[in-house]
Copies of this chain bind each other. A is one copy, B any other.
Amino acid sequence: MSSTVLYMSMSLDGFIAGPNEGPGNGLGDGGDRLHDWALRSEVTGVDRQVVDEMMSTGAIVCGRGTYEPANGWGGDHHDNVPVFVLTRRPDAQQPQWPNVTYVADVESAMSRAKAAAGEKDVLVHGAGTAQLAVAAGVLDELEIHLIPVLLGEGRPLFEHLGAGQRELEQVRVLGGSEATHLRYRVRR
């Protein structure tokens, strides 16, 4: 069955981007460090396995904070799968590419992405989207690439969740060349 899976690289102190994010500095100061494991010239072993899994998803849900700094991946993240972009005002503007749809709420984005993905999983990207999806109970799994670095400041993956314990089931741990890939299922 198709699952919605958050894929995020995170520092041990919980950041997915460094401080001073902005145009031309989309990952913030030092944020590139979090993606070294996936962007090196040769990605092998379990790192390769995890990238391949991510690239075999059947649809994408992300926020504008992920989509825009990436320039919409030129309209094709991988295999021309549909991309659902969360935005507060989906009617204000037309997306630039045919595979991209602007959606106002995370529940619709997730259900439309699942329908589009068929048997495949849905790739979820972005801290804001993750927070909304966890809060709305529409995130099925998390694949966290935990990076052995302390950034000290930056954009946290988990904030604004509010008090209230959410149990996860750890379903896999893979030790990559640098990142540790931690897979969790959200318990319902």
Q: Which residues on A are within 8 Å of B, measured CB to CB? A: 12-14, 18-19, 29-30, 33, 134, 142, 144, 146, 148-154, 156-158, 161-170, 173, 175, 178, 180, 182, 184
Residues in chain B near residue A149, CB distance under 8 A: 165-168
Tell me if B13 and A158 are in contact (CB < 8 A).
yes
Q: Of A162, A165, A168, which is in contact with the most chain B CB atoms at under 10 Å from its CB?
A: A165
Tell me if A151 and B170 are in contact (CB < 8 A).
no
Tell me if A152 and B165 are in contact (CB < 8 A).
yes
Tell me if B166 and A150 are in contact (CB < 8 A).
yes
Residues in chain B near residue A175, CB distance under 8 A: 170, 173
Tell me if B163 and A150 are in contact (CB < 8 A).
no
21 A-B residue pairs with Cβ-Cβ distance under 8 Å, sorted by A, are A12-B142, A12-B158, A12-B182, A12-B184, A13-B14, A13-B158, A13-B161, A14-B156, A14-B158, A148-B184, A149-B166, A150-B165, A151-B165, A152-B162, A152-B164, A153-B163, A170-B180, A173-B173, A173-B175, A173-B180, A180-B182
Kindly identify which residue among B18, B152, B163, B182 contacts A146, using a CB–CB cutoff of 8 Å: B182
Kindly identify which residue among B12, B29, B134, B162 contacts A153, using a CB–CB cutoff of 8 Å: B162
Residues in chain B near residue A164, CB distance under 8 A: 152
Residues in chain B near residue A156, CB distance under 8 A: 14
Question: Can you add 9 more A-B contacts, CB < 8 Å, to A149-B166, A150-B168?
Answer: A13-B158, A14-B14, A19-B163, A30-B165, A146-B182, A148-B168, A149-B168, A152-B164, A180-B182
